[in-house]
Structure formats: C-alpha cells, structure tokens
Structure 1
Amino acid sequence: MAEYSIAQFLEKTKQDDREHDYFEVEKPQMLEINLNNQSVWTKAGSMVAYTGAIKFEREGMLSGGLTKFLKKALTGEGSKLMKAAGKGRLYVADMGKKVQVLQLNNETICVNGNDILAHDQSLKNDITMLKSIAGVLSGGLFQVKLSGSGLVAITTHGDPLTLMVTPDSPVFTDPNATVAWSGHLVPELKSNMSFKSIIGRGSGEEFQMRFAGTGWVLIQPYEEVYMQTSS
C-alpha cells in the first residue's frame, strides 16, 4: 500500500518549486502570486494561504474618485476587491473554479465582475453597466473593464470556450454563462420573454447578450447566478 502512504501523498500534492512566475497556476483551481515588494488586487475572500510578509487592505469606497464611488455604491463592487502588498507567496482560489491567466499588452477586456480572481495593480479597472431590465433579471448587469499592460486571472466553471465574433456572424450568449469578451465589443441585451414571465429568473432562452463586430467571447459550461453584495 505504498501508493497510499503519507510520503506519496505529499509528493503528489506538494507545491512545485521549479517556477516562480508573478502569476503561477499552481493547481488548475489555485493561483500562486509571487510578490516581491509589490501590490496586487485580489477578489475579497479568495486568499487560502500565504507565506512571507504580506498585508491585506480592503479597497476603499472612495478609491477612484466620485464616479467610481457612485458605481460601487450601486453595484456593491466596492466590497469585492482586496489589495495584497509585500513580499511572499500568496495563494488564491474561488469555489473550486478553474483559473485562467491572461497577459494584456496595451489591450482592453471586459470580465464579469464575479469572475475576476486577481489582477495587476498597473491595470486600469472600471465598472461598466449594461442598462437593460434584462441584465437586472439575469444577474449579468455589471462587468469590469480592464485596460493597459499586465496580468489578470479569471475563473471559470469547467473548461471555457472562446467564440469568435465576425461582422457577418454575431454571437448570442446566456449572460450567466458569459465570462469575458474583447474590450472593444459592446454587447446588446435582448429579451424574448413576455410580460407574463417577467417574475423570476430568466433563462438563457429568454435573455441573450448579442455581440456584433470583430472580436471574441469567452463562455463557460455553467449558468452562474451572481449575487450582488451591499457595501
């Protein structure tokens, strides 16, 4: 029964010390962030462990000025970010979802606010709102636009799929399965539901996000209900 020994278990599950990238996918559902006297934004509540000297600071409601304050007061986004600063290894995860790391090179992407696990402090972030009753009912109203150069880690339920958007082939997605998309795409929310079915959560068959133009959309094989939090 040597294969069930503690020594074998430790060898199988221990941290991989061969690489120490800034953002390192240590396990499919866990991100290791190697801080060297720098800061990073992480999703509040995502820290599962750390080593070294790292301090955590909740994002203030007034950070980013009055405009962001009003958006955060409305959306609850202000309670979702935590700044980690110092030197050491930080491990973050989110409910067993898979971690995907993207390198932005003077680029812009939009991500569902609930699906951001961590991002480089150098990236500019701004909350965007899809102004439609459909977005309110589906829970897919608020997204975060990230722009600049740096790393961002997002999470997905299962393995994601990227759909390419072309001028002659728009893409329609369920808001609750939509994770991220090209920053220059402006999705439109449309509804096929009747007034009689307005009560209750709309399904992907009743609400869709329409992406037109040239770009890409990232979806996951799961319809996630996003709960807004109060500050």
Structure 2
Amino acid sequence: MNKYSITEFIKNTEQEDKGEGFFELETPRLLEVNLDGLVWAKAGSMVAYHGRIKFEREGILEHGIGAMFKKALTGEGATLMKANGQGKLYLADSGKKIIILYLQNEAIYVNGNDLLAFEPSINHNIKLMRKVAGMMAGGLFNVRCEGTGMIAITTHYEPLTLRVTPGKPVITDPNATVAWSGNLQPEFQTDISLKTFIGRGSGESIQMRFEGDGFVIIQPYEEVYMQTQS
C-alpha cells in the first residue's frame, strides 16, 4: 500500500488539463467534459463539476411520441440527462473503464447501460431488442449513435473488439456485449444445451449472433440485470 503525505497525494491525483479538448480522460475511469454549451450524459453519472452548469433529464417527448413509448418500455436504464452551461463536468459510472470514440459520419450501437456521454452533434435513437423482451430487462435496448463527434462508452475491465467478416459470424453473450458497428443487425438465438450447463436462469441461454462485415466490442464481465416482473 502506498503512503503519501497530503501534499504528495494531491500532487499525484490532482486534476490536470491535458489539452485534449471537449472530452478528456482524467483517469481511466473518470471523464472530464470541458463544457461550453451542451452535452448528453447518462443520468446519475455526474460525480463533480465547477462552473455554471444546469442539469435536466431527457424529456419524455424529447424525440416524439414513438420515443416516448420506447422509453416507457425500456425503463430507467436508458435515461439520459442534458448538462448545459460553461465549466468542467466530471462523469463516471460504477468505476467502469471509459473509452472515448470519435465518430466521423459513422454509426455505432451501444448497449444502453454502457453509453456514458456524447456530443450534441451526435444523433441518438433508442432501439428495442424485441426478441428478448421479458427475458433480460436490462438488455432490452441499445442506443444508435450516428454522426460526427465524440462519444464515451464504458466497460467492465479491458474491452476486446472482435471482427465480423462474411461467412464467419460472431456469437456473444448479451450481458458481455458493449457495442457493435452501425451496419450490423444482431439476431437472437437460444442454446438449450448451454442452459443445462450454466443453470443460472433462462437469460444465460440467449446469444447474440452477428453476421456481415463489421465489429463487436465485448467485455470480460457479464452484467446481470434485474428480470422483468410478469
């Protein structure tokens, strides 16, 4: 265990401007937003800020009637907030590792639980995974982010990116799947034999199957979501 004087500790851990722009990784698990205007962030992810910043939950009619029904079905996990103003904003999510991606007129799907923040230039749209409704409450939705700008996603531990190529599909556990390229549409399949081995409930036998040309980001961790109430 390291021992520091207070002066040494402050020197080793204090905030430092790295000049990286709108999004900066202060630590691998803490995102600094140099705010001058608006940023979208996961509700509840603010850990500190200074300056004049106003927080507002995403309105239920923010994206029209269709989005309202999606939000009602997907629950709190998909809830976003807007931070508006000038200052420095610090975001984190349960100590998860943060990755900053710069989209250049591109699209990516992110598991709704793993999207931490994104610039207002990015269009976002909540997508339901209807085929797993009633099986995995927390894994029911993902967010399609599209455009040019930065997004910040989170993973438990170090992520791994798997290439998907024609004729070589990639199958993943939904609870370990963080994001995938915008041109891929996963299919859901069940594996009865796998369920027999694992024995941890029906959710364990559901798999995501990616076919085509793109990538899938996974994490070495299965996020366990609350089951829906019937």
Structure 1 residue 164 corresponds to structure 2 residue 159: no
From the superposition, tell whether residues 68 and 165 of structure 1 become closer, same or farther in structure 2 (CA, over 3 Å). Answer: same
In the TM superposition, 1:61-100 aligns within 5 A as 61-76=60-75, 80-100=79-99
- 1:202 matched to which residue of 2? 203
Q: Which residue of structure 1 aligns with residue 113 of structure 2?
A: 114
C-alpha displacement of 1:160: 0.1
| Aligned-pair CA distance for 1:66 | 0.7
How high is the TM-score relative to the length of structure 1? 0.90
Name the counterpart of 1:52.
Answer: 51
Task: Report Cα offsets for 1:35-93 as digits up to 9, x if no partner.
Answer: 12x10011111000001111111111011111111111111258621100100000000
Distance 1:228 1:103, change over 3 A: farther
1:136 positional shift = 3.7
**Counterpart secondary structure, 2:175:** helix
Is the partner of 1:10 in helix, strand or coil?
Answer: helix
Q: Give 1:202 deviation, angstroms.
A: 2.3
* CA shift digits 1:133-182 (9 cap, x unpaired): 4x542342211111111111000000000000000211000000000000
Report the TM-score, using the length of structure 2 for normalisation: 0.90
Aligned length in residues: 223
Structure 2 unaligned residues grouped into runs of 5+:
none
Equivalence map 1:1-231=2 (5 Å): 4-36=4-36, 38-76=37-75, 80-133=79-132, 136-138=134-136, 139-193=138-192, 200-203=201-204, 206-227=205-226
For the aligned residue pairs, the C-alpha RMSD in angstroms reads 2.2
- Describe the shift of the 1:105–1:42 C-alpha distance in structure 2 as closer, same or farther (beyond 3 A): same
Q: Contact 1:58/1:79 (CA < 8 Å) preserved in 2?
A: no
Give identity over the alignment, percent.
Answer: 57
Question: Structure 2 CA distance, aligned partners of 1:145 and 1:111?
Answer: 6
Distance 1:216 1:40, change over 3 A: same
Query: Displaced runs of 4+ in structure 1, greater than 3 A?
Result: 196-201, 226-229
3-state SS in 2 of match to 1:184: coil
- Is the CA contact (8 Å cut-off) linking 1:61 and 1:78 kept in structure 2? no
Structure 1 residues 29 and 60 mapped into 2: Cα distance closer, same or farther (>3 Å)? same
| AA matched with 1:153 | A
Structure 1 segments unaligned to the other structure (5+ residues): none
The 8 Å contact of residues 105 and 148 in structure 1, kept in 2 or not, is answered as yes
* Letter of the 1:87 counterpart: Q
Question: Helix, strand or coil for the counterpart of 1:140?
Answer: coil
